A and B are shown apart, each in its own frame.
Chain A
Amino acid sequence: MAHLRLPISDYIREYGPHVSDSPVTGWGPKPEPDRLVETHCCFCGMQCGVKLQVKSGRVIGIEPWEEFPFNEGRLCPKGVKRYMQTHHPDRLTDPLIREGAGFRKAGWDEALDLVASKARAIQAKRGKDAFAMLSGVSLSNEKSYLVGKFARLALGTANLDYNGRFCMVSAGAGNKKAFGIDRVANPWDDIPEAGVVLLAGTNVSECFPTLTHYIWKARDRGAKLIVVDPRETPIARTADHHVALRPGTDSALNQALLHELVANGWFDREFVEQRCTGWAELRASVERCTPEWAGEICGVPAALIREVAAAWGQAKTSFLLHARGVEQHTKGVENVLGLINLVLATGRIGRRGCGYGTITGQGNGQGGREHGHKCDQLPGNRDIENPEHRKHICDVWRISDAELPRKGKTTVEIVEAIHAGGIHGLLNICFNPMVSHPDTGFTREALERLEFFCVIDFFMSETARYADVVLPGSLHEEEEGTSTTAEARVVRIRAAVEPPGNARRDTWILLELARRLGKEEHFRFSSSEDIFNELRRASAGGTADYAGITYERVEREMGVFWPCPSEGHPGTPRLFEDGRSYHPDGKFKLLPTPYRPSAEVPDAEFPLYMTSGRSVFHYLSGTQTRRIKFLVEKSPGPICEMHPALATRLGLVDRQLVTVETRRGAITVPLRIVETIRPDTVFLPYHWPEELAANQLTVRALDPVSKMPEFKVAACRVRAATRGEADRARSLFAELKLEAS
C-alpha cells in the first residue's frame, strides 16, 4: 500500500526538489572543457541543438551550437540552464525500497527481483492486464520503442499508455482523420514564406520560444499574424489580430471563419472538389454559423472574426499552427479538425510557404508517439487492432499474434481502473501524474490503492514518493539515442556522461527487468543503435517509416525527416507535395465540427472560467526545472492571473493571496492582476505538485476520441484566502525555494 507515511516536507528535505544554483564546478573560474558534445535540449518539441561542455566526465556548461540548422544557437532559458540538472544534489543514485515510513537504499539485484516477483504475483492472481505501465515522451525513440516492446512482451499487458495523452493525442487523432498521417505537414522553414500565420491556442513565445524567430522572419517579409488565445501572450501582444475568445469556444470560431470563407468565395474550389471529400456536407454545416453567432458564443466582436477571415481567406500563402490551447478539450479533436478545414478549404497545403501543423510539446512528443508506447499503437504508427499491422510487428518480434496484447486503456482510464480496483500494479517511467494528471485528489487516491508501484526516474518526482520501489534512471545526456522534433526531424541525442553513483541507464533497467521476467530472448540489444535498427525494421512500411534513417545519416545530415523508407531516400520535410493524403483514396477528408459546450461551464455557483498552461521557465511537471535556481527565481510557484476589472469587482488586489475553487478542489496562490486576460477568465500555470497543483481544479472529462482531458476549461470562483489558507500557502512557497545544501 502506497500511502505517504511522512509529511511531504520530509520527502522534500530528503529528496528535493531543492534548488541548486551552481554548476558542478562552482561559479569560480571555469575549467577548459575536454570536449563539446553536440546534442539537443532535453525539453520541448523544438529539440534545439546545443553543445554540452564536458570536463573529466562531468557536464560543466553549455555552448550554443550555431551550425545546427533549426535553431542556429538560439535557446530559451531552460535550454541554457538545463545542464545544471546533470550533477544536481537531488539525483537518485541508488535503488530505493519502501521500508517503514520511508525508503531504504537497496542493491540492484534485490530491487529488480522485487519488481519482477511482484509483477508476476499480481499477474498470476489477477491476470496480465492487472499490471499496467505508464511512460513518457521525454524518452528517446529507442527507449520509447523499448518500452512498447517491454510492456507488451515482457509484462504481457495491454495496459500501456503515456503522458503524450496529455499532449498531442487530439492533434494526432484529428490529423489521422483528415490526412491519414499524424505529423506536422511542413518543415518550420516554410513559416517565413507564409503571407499569413495563424496561431490557434499556442503560446509560442513561452512554450516554443525558438520558433518565435521563424514567425518574425515571416513578419519581416510582411506576413500578417493572427493569434487566437484567451490571453494576450507575449506573441499575441504584437499580433495584427488577436482573438481573445472564451475558453472552450474554438469550434464556434472555426465554423464562423469557414462560413466567411464560403460566403466570400475565399476557397479553392478545385482543391475542395477534386482533392477532398465532404465539401458539400462541410459547407452546409456552417451555413448558419455567422460571425454574429460565433461572436456571441466566443465573446468577441463579429467584426474581428470578419477581419480574421479576410486576412486568412485572401492570403496567397499561409501557415496554421496550433497546440494544447485548442487540443486539451473534450472537443480537442473537433477543434483540430475545424482548423484543418480552414487549411484545406483554401487548398494551401503541400507547397512551399503553405503549411499546417500541431506544435508538439514534449521533447520527443513526435517520435515517442510513433513507436508504440501508446495504448493503441505499434511501431511505425501502426494500429494495434489492424491484423496486417499486427502481423508485421509479430514477424519483427518473432512472436505469434496470440502473444501480442490488443488495445489497452488510455492514461486517465488506467488511473480510473486503479481507483476502481481493476488494475493493481503499476510500473511508471518518466511520467509525473501527481502534477500532470487532471483532478489531483483522485490521482492520489488511485496511487494509494495500488498493491505494488514501481517508478523509474532520475529525481524523486512527486509521483515516485508513492512508490514501493524507485529505480534511479538516466537523463537525456546519459544515453545515446535519437529523438524526433516537432517538425518530424529525427535528430541525434548523445551521451555526454555516465549516470551518477549506482544509477543506471533506463535501457539497462528495462533489459534487466525483461530478463528477470523470463523474456530475455526478445531483448538482446547491445546498444541504443541496435535498438534503433530494430525500430527501423519495425517501422518499415508504416506511415512513420524510419527504415532509411541511420545514426550515420542523422549525424551527417543534421537530422532526417520521416517518412524515409530507404537509405537512398532523402527523407520528407514536406508532406502532400503530390496533392494526395495518406488515406487509401488519396483524398483529404473534410469533416463537419459543430460547436458544443465544454464539459463544465460557469454557473451561478462557479461563475468564472479557469484555464491552465505553462510558463517559459518550466517544463511540464517541473521535475527538472523546479530544481534549477535561475528558473525557480523567475517563476517560483503558481500565480493566478486576473483582469483588473474582475479584481475590482471581487475586491482583490495585486499580489494578495487568493483561493481559487472548483467542484474538485481549491488552491491558494498569489494574485497577479494583468490586463492581458479576459475579465471572465483566470489562468493558472500547472507545473507544481500536490497542494500547489493547478490540476486539483481541472475536470476529469475526456475527449471521446482522443481521451485527452479538458485541462483548458473549468468553472471556478475566486475569493481572498482565509488566514489559515494564507499561512499554509506561505509555508508551501517557502519550501519551493529550498536551497540545496
Chain B
Amino acid sequence: MSAVVRDFFIDFQRCIGCQACAAACSECHTHRGLPMVHVDLVAPGVSLQTAPMVCMHCADPTCASVCPADAIKVDEHGIVHSSLKPRCISCGNCELACPFGVPIIKMEIQQMQKCDMCFDRTSAGKKPMCATVCPTGALFYGTREEIAQQRPASKPINRWRFGKQRIATRVHVMVPHDVDEMAVELPAFDEGGGPAALATALAAGARDGRAPEEAGPEAEFL
C-alpha cells in the first residue's frame, strides 16, 4: 500500500437508520455474528434521526486508561483494539467509561470486543465493512482531500468535550463550518450518559433531551 492516509468520517445527518453498517459489521471475521457499530434513534417518537456510532479511536482512550488489566492497546496507526484476551478480566470498566458507548463485553468469551476499524481489511488496503456498504455516505472512509472536495458544505472535526473532559479522536465527524468542537453536556448518571447524551448532542437541533434507544425491535411490548 502507498502512504496515502485514509480516515474515517461520520456524517450523522445522512443516516437513514437502515442498519446496513451493523449487518455488514456482524459479518466480520473477528467478531462474527455480533455487530460492533451501534445505530441509535436520537429522539424516538419525535424524529427518525439515527446516529451510527463506531469506535472513535481516541488519541488518549478512556477505555484503556480505566482498564485495570492494561488489556487495551493502541497501535501505531492510532487504532484502539479489542482487549487482549489473556489480560482481559471482563470487569466492564471500559464499557461503562467509554463516552461513546463503544466497547461490548462478550461474556461467553470473557473478553471485551470493540470496533477496530476493520483492522484486517484496512491493513490490506480495503475499506472498513460499514463504510463500504453504508448506502448514504453517513460513514465514509477516504482521504481528507476526497471528503473536502465531495462535501463542501460541511467540514470534518475530531475534537470533543464531554462535560469537562476533552477528547481528540482518530475518527472525524462532519459538522457545519462554524462548529469547531462537539460539546456533550453530560446528564446526571442515572439518566444514562454515554451514547444517550451523545446521540442527543449529535442530532443538530435535537428537540429534547429524551434518551435515545437502540433502533431495534418494534414489538418489545410482547
Binding site for B on A (CB under 8 A): 21-22, 27-30, 61-62, 64, 66, 71, 73-77, 79-81, 205-206, 209-210, 212-213, 216-217, 220, 222, 232-235, 237-238, 616-617, 630, 633-637, 639, 644, 654-657, 670, 672-676, 730, 733-734
- B48 — nearest CB in chain A belongs to which residue? A234
User: Quick check: A675 and B45 within 8 Å, CB to CB?
Assistant: yes
Minimum C-beta distance from A195 to chain B (A):
15
Q: From the candidates A205, A633, A657, name the one contacting B18 in the complex (CB within 8 A).
A: A205
- A30 — nearest CB in chain B belongs to which residue? B29
User: Quick check: B14 and A77 within 8 Å, CB to CB?
Assistant: no
Given contacts A216-B137, A220-B153, whether A30 and B218 have CB atoms under 8 Å apart is no
Listed by A's residue number, 6 A-B pairs whose Cβ atoms lie within 8 Å are: A29-B32, A216-B137, A217-B150, A237-B49, A238-B13, A676-B47
Taking CB atoms, residues of chain B closer than 8 Å to A80 are: 20, 23-24, 27, 133
User: Quick check: B16 and A616 within 8 Å, CB to CB?
Assistant: yes
Taking CB atoms, residues of chain A closer than 8 Å to B122 are: none
Binding site for A on B (CB under 8 A): 13-20, 22-24, 26-27, 29, 32-33, 45-50, 127, 129, 132-137, 150-153, 215-222
Q: How far is the CA of A66 from the CA of B128 in the complex (A)?
A: 12
Minimum C-beta distance from B32 to chain A (A):
4
- Since A28-B32, A75-B24, A637-B218 are in contact, a sample of 13 more A-B pairs with Cβ atoms closer than 8 Å, ordered by chain A residue number, is A21-B33, A74-B133, A205-B18, A216-B137, A217-B150, A235-B16, A616-B18, A616-B19, A630-B26, A654-B45, A655-B220, A670-B221, A674-B46
User: Quick check: B151 and A676 within 8 Å, CB to CB?
Assistant: no
Taking CB atoms, residues of chain B closer than 8 Å to A633 are: 216-217
Taking CB atoms, residues of chain B closer than 8 Å to A654 are: 45
Q: How far is the CA of A734 from the CA of B219 in the complex (A)?
A: 10
Q: How far is the CA of A656 from the CA of B135 in the complex (A)?
A: 33
Taking CB atoms, residues of chain A closer than 8 Å to B49 are: 237
Taking CB atoms, residues of chain B closer than 8 Å to A209 are: 16, 18, 20, 135-136
User: Quick check: B48 and A676 within 8 Å, CB to CB?
Assistant: yes
Minimum C-beta distance from A15 to chain B (A):
23
Q: How many A-B residue pairs have CB under 8 A?
A: 132
Taking CB atoms, residues of chain A closer than 8 Å to B136 are: 205, 209, 212-213, 216
User: Quick check: A73 and B151 within 8 Å, CB to CB?
Assistant: no
User: Quick check: A234 and B20 within 8 Å, CB to CB?
Assistant: no
Q: Which residue, of A73, A79, A636, A733, has the highest number of chain B Cβ atoms within 10 A?
A: A73
User: Quick check: A64 and B47 within 8 Å, CB to CB?
Assistant: no
Taking CB atoms, residues of chain A closer than 8 Å to B137 are: 213, 216
User: Quick check: A644 and B45 within 8 Å, CB to CB?
Assistant: yes
Q: How far is the CA of A210 from the CA of B16 in the complex (A)?
A: 11
Taking CB atoms, residues of chain B closer than 8 Å to A672 are: 218
Taking CB atoms, residues of chain B closer than 8 Å to A674 are: 45-46, 48
Q: How far is the CA of A656 from the CA of B220 in the complex (A)?
A: 10
Describe B's contact surface by its main secondary structure: loop
Q: How far is the CA of A22 from the CA of B137 in the complex (A)?
A: 28
Q: Which residue, of B14, B17, B129, B152, has the highest number of chain A Cβ atoms within 10 A?
A: B14
Q: From the candidates A232, A635, A673, name the one contacting B218 in the complex (CB within 8 A).
A: A635
Q: How far is the CA of A66 from the CA of B129 in the complex (A)?
A: 11
Q: How far is the CA of A88 from the CA of B188 in the complex (A)?
A: 47
Minimum C-beta distance from B156 to chain A (A):
14
Minimum C-beta distance from B125 to chain A (A):
11
User: Quick check: B132 and A74 within 8 Å, CB to CB?
Assistant: yes
User: Quick check: B33 and A22 within 8 Å, CB to CB?
Assistant: yes
Q: From the candidates B46, B133, B218, name the one contacting A73 in the complex (CB within 8 A).
A: B133
Given contacts A630-B26, A634-B217, A635-B218, whether A233 and B48 have CB atoms under 8 Å apart is yes
Q: How far is the CA of A630 from the CA of B14 in the complex (A)?
A: 22
Q: How far is the CA of A213 from the CA of B26 in the complex (A)?
A: 23
User: Quick check: A77 and B18 within 8 Å, CB to CB?
Assistant: yes
- A22 — nearest CB in chain B belongs to which residue? B33
Q: How far is the CA of A235 from the CA of B218 in the complex (A)?
A: 20
Q: How far is the CA of A609 from the CA of B5 in the complex (A)?
A: 53
User: Quick check: A234 and B17 within 8 Å, CB to CB?
Assistant: yes
User: Quick check: A75 and B20 within 8 Å, CB to CB?
Assistant: yes
Q: From the candidates B16, B17, B20, B217, name the one contacting A79 in the complex (CB within 8 A).
A: B20
Ordered nearest first, which 3 A-B pairs have the shortest CB separation? A234-B16, A205-B16, A27-B33
Minimum C-beta distance from A546 to chain B (A):
29
Minimum C-beta distance from B203 to chain A (A):
10
Taking CB atoms, residues of chain B closer than 8 Å to A75 are: 20, 24, 133, 135
- B13 — nearest CB in chain A belongs to which residue? A238
Taking CB atoms, residues of chain A closer than 8 Å to B23 are: 77, 80-81, 630
Q: Which residue, of B17, B19, B132, B137, has the highest number of chain A Cβ atoms within 10 A?
A: B19
Q: From the candidates A61, A64, A222, A657, name the one contacting B132 in the complex (CB within 8 A).
A: A64
User: Quick check: B19 and A77 within 8 Å, CB to CB?
Assistant: yes
Minimum C-beta distance from A492 to chain B (A):
21
User: Quick check: A216 and B221 within 8 Å, CB to CB?
Assistant: no
User: Quick check: B222 and A730 within 8 Å, CB to CB?
Assistant: yes
User: Quick check: A76 and B45 within 8 Å, CB to CB?
Assistant: no
Minimum C-beta distance from A659 to chain B (A):
14
Taking CB atoms, residues of chain B closer than 8 Å to A212 are: 14, 16, 135-136
Given contacts A213-B136, A220-B151, A633-B217, whether A77 and B45 have CB atoms under 8 Å apart is no
Q: How far is the CA of A410 from the CA of B215 in the complex (A)?
A: 40
Q: How far is the CA of A29 from the CA of B17 in the complex (A)?
A: 29
Minimum C-beta distance from B94 to chain A (A):
23
Q: From the candidates B27, B132, B219, name the one contacting A670 in the complex (CB within 8 A).
A: B219
Q: How far is the CA of A676 from the CA of B23 in the complex (A)?
A: 26
User: Quick check: B16 and A637 within 8 Å, CB to CB?
Assistant: no
